[in-house]
């Protein structure tokens, strides 16, 4: 007489029905491979499930990938959706592996103390990063391919990838920075590529009061226009509700102590070579001012002494090698 608790390996049958202990019978047909240990068959079944899950995830992405890309029209959301599909496929594979070993989700339990410790130490930071990643994808402060700058470290680079847990930045120094989303949301991030890639730069120049001020302004503006990356003219550029002139414009900033301070504002077509563009503009300004009736001012001070400036007495200690002998006809110290 066969009892209900006999496993499929002992009775010669393998059925996926539940046993009296509450666990599921393994779907692996042990009776088809007599003489082979059960653990080897289970391991082989796990490998087969993982291989099938891998190729199934690739097939699903291949079939639905372009549709998802057209649907979201944002690389970050597209990659997140594709990762979610792959995760769902491998989750099904994990449930299948549990089924192979005759386990159910209810069989995997932890005590309240252990579960609380795991949540507090491991899961909580991960969940925080995932929540921050959801807000990043929803707020869209930057997108994959944008050039951004971390203000606190003056680090610039391109956004390489955005996941639910971290943001990957490819810096201009040919290095990678991986920042958790929970951290990057608390930092000031400058986006140079959002909506309009044109970026405005400025250059402060101080010229002497003796030079021709109008000529200095014309020379500075012309020097900036001669750089290829600088916008030479065109309609005003709108920033919010304000509009600013597109061509380089030199303003009188202030009448400083050592000269007249001029401020040049100019727009760059692309933000990818800001330092090189600024260097070219400054080189042109330096070369143009050398041949003009304009001189760049530098800090200097004039000290003038006359009879009304007072007197300063200098004395040397007695006994010094070069000290003069005291005058007997003079009262007081030398």
Domain encompassing residue 75: 30-103
- To which residue do tokens 């009879």 refer? 307
Percent of the residues in the chain that have a pLDDT greater than 90, as a whole number: 19
Q: In the prediction, which pLDDT does 7 show?
A: 42
Confidence tier at 165 by pLDDT (50, 70, 90): confident
Q: In the prediction, which pLDDT does 13 show?
A: 41
Looking at beta carbons, which pairs linking 90-99 to residues 24 or more positions away fall under 8 Å?
Answer: 90/53, 90/57, 92/53, 93/49, 93/50, 93/52, 93/53, 96/49, 97/46, 97/49, 99/16, 99/24, 99/26, 99/27
Spell out the SS3 assignment of 78-99.
HHHHHHHHHHHHHHHHHHHHHH
What average pLDDT does the segment 234-250 reach? 88
Is 281 domain-assigned?
Answer: yes
Are 38 and 54 members of one domain? yes
Is 334 domain-assigned?
Answer: no
Q: In the prediction, which pLDDT does 108 show?
A: 53
Q: In the prediction, which pLDDT does 325 show?
A: 59
215 burial type by CB count under 10 A (0-12 exposed, 13-18 middle, 19+ buried): middle
Contacting residues for 111 by C-beta, under 8 A, at least 6 apart: none
DSSP per-residue codes, 82-144: HHHHHHHHHHHHHHHHHHHTT--GGG----HHHHHHHIIIIIHHHHHHHHHHHHHHHH-S--T
Are 86 and 63 members of one domain? yes
Is 332 domain-assigned?
Answer: no
> Tokens standing for 209?
């009061």
Question: For residues 38 and 33, what is the distance between their CA atoms, to the nearest angstrom?
Answer: 9
What average pLDDT does the segment 197-225 reach? 90
Q: In the prediction, which pLDDT does 220 show?
A: 93
Are 34 and 95 members of one domain? yes
Q: Using one digit for the tens of pLDDT, what is the confidence trace for 278-311?
A: 999 999 999 888 878 788 887 766 666 676 666 6
Confidence tier at 43 by pLDDT (50, 70, 90): confident
263 burial type by CB count under 10 A (0-12 exposed, 13-18 middle, 19+ buried): middle
- Split into its structural domains, the chain has a count of 3
Is 4 domain-assigned?
Answer: no
Confidence tier at 193 by pLDDT (50, 70, 90): confident
Are 210 and 178 members of one domain? no
Is 5 domain-assigned?
Answer: no
More confident residue, 248 or 118: 248
More confident residue, 204 or 258: 204
User: Does the pLDDT at position 68 exceed 60?
Assistant: yes
User: Does the pLDDT at position 121 exceed 50?
Assistant: yes
Question: For residues 9 and 31, what is the distance between their CA atoms, to the nearest angstrom?
Answer: 7
Contacting residues for 237 by C-beta, under 8 A, at least 6 apart: 198, 200, 243, 244, 245, 246, 267
Is 248 domain-assigned?
Answer: yes
Of the listed ranges 95-104, 254-263, 321-330, the least confidently predicted one is 321-330
pTM over 0.75: no
Residue 260 host element (H or E): strand 260-268
Is 320 domain-assigned?
Answer: no
**Residue spans of alpha helices (H) in the chain:** 8-11, 38-72, 75-100, 112-118, 124-139, 181-184, 213-225, 274-290
Are 214 and 162 members of one domain? no
Confidence tier at 14 by pLDDT (50, 70, 90): very low
Please count the other Cβ atoms lying within 10 Å of the Cβ belonging to residue 21: 9
Are 174 and 96 members of one domain? no
Q: Is the distance from CB of 102 to CB of 25 less than 8 angstroms?
A: yes
Of these ranges, 81-95, 124-138, 308-322, the one predicted with the greatest mean pLDDT is: 81-95
């Amino acid at each position: 007489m066969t009892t209900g608790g006999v496993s499929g390996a002992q009775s010669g049958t393998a059925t996926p029905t539940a046993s009296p202990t509450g666990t599921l019978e393994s779907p692996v047909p042990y009776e088809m491979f007599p003489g082979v240990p059960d653990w080897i068959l289970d391991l082989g079944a796990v490998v087969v499930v993982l291989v099938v899950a891998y190729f199934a995830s690739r097939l699903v992405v291949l079939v639905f990938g372009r549709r998802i890309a057209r649907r979201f029209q944002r690389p970050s959301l597209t990659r997140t959706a594709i990762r979610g599909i792959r995760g769902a496929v491998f989750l099904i594979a994990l449930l299948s592996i549990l089924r192979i070993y005759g386990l159910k989700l209810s069989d995997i339990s932890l005590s309240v103390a252990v579960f609380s410790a795991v949540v507090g130490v491991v899961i909580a930071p991960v969940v925080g990063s995932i929540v921050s990643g959801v807000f990043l994808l929803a707020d869209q402060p930057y997108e994959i391919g944008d050039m951004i700058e971390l203000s606190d470290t003056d680090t610039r680079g391109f956004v390489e990838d955005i996941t639910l847990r971290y943001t990957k930045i490819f810096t201009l120094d040919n290095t990678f920075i991986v920042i958790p989303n929970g951290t990057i949301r608390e930092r000031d991030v400058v986006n140079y590529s959002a909506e309009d890639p044109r970026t405005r730069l400025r250059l402060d120049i101080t010229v002497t009061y003796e030079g021709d001020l109008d000529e200095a302004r014309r020379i500075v503006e012309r020097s900036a226009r001669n750089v290829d990356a600088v916008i030479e003219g065109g309609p005003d550029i709108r920033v919010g509700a304000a509009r600013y002139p597109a061509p380089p414009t030199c303003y009188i900033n202030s009448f400083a102590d050592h000269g007249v301070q001029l401020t040049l504002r100019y727009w760059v077509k692309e933000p990818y070579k800001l330092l090189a563009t600024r260097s070219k503009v400054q080189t042109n300004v330096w070369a143009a001012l050398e041949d003009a009736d304009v001189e760049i001012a530098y800090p200097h001070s004039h000290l003038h002494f006359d009879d009304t400036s007072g007197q300063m007495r200098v004395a040397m200690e007695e006994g010094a090698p070069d000290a003069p002998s005291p005058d007997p006809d003079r009262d007081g110290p030398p």
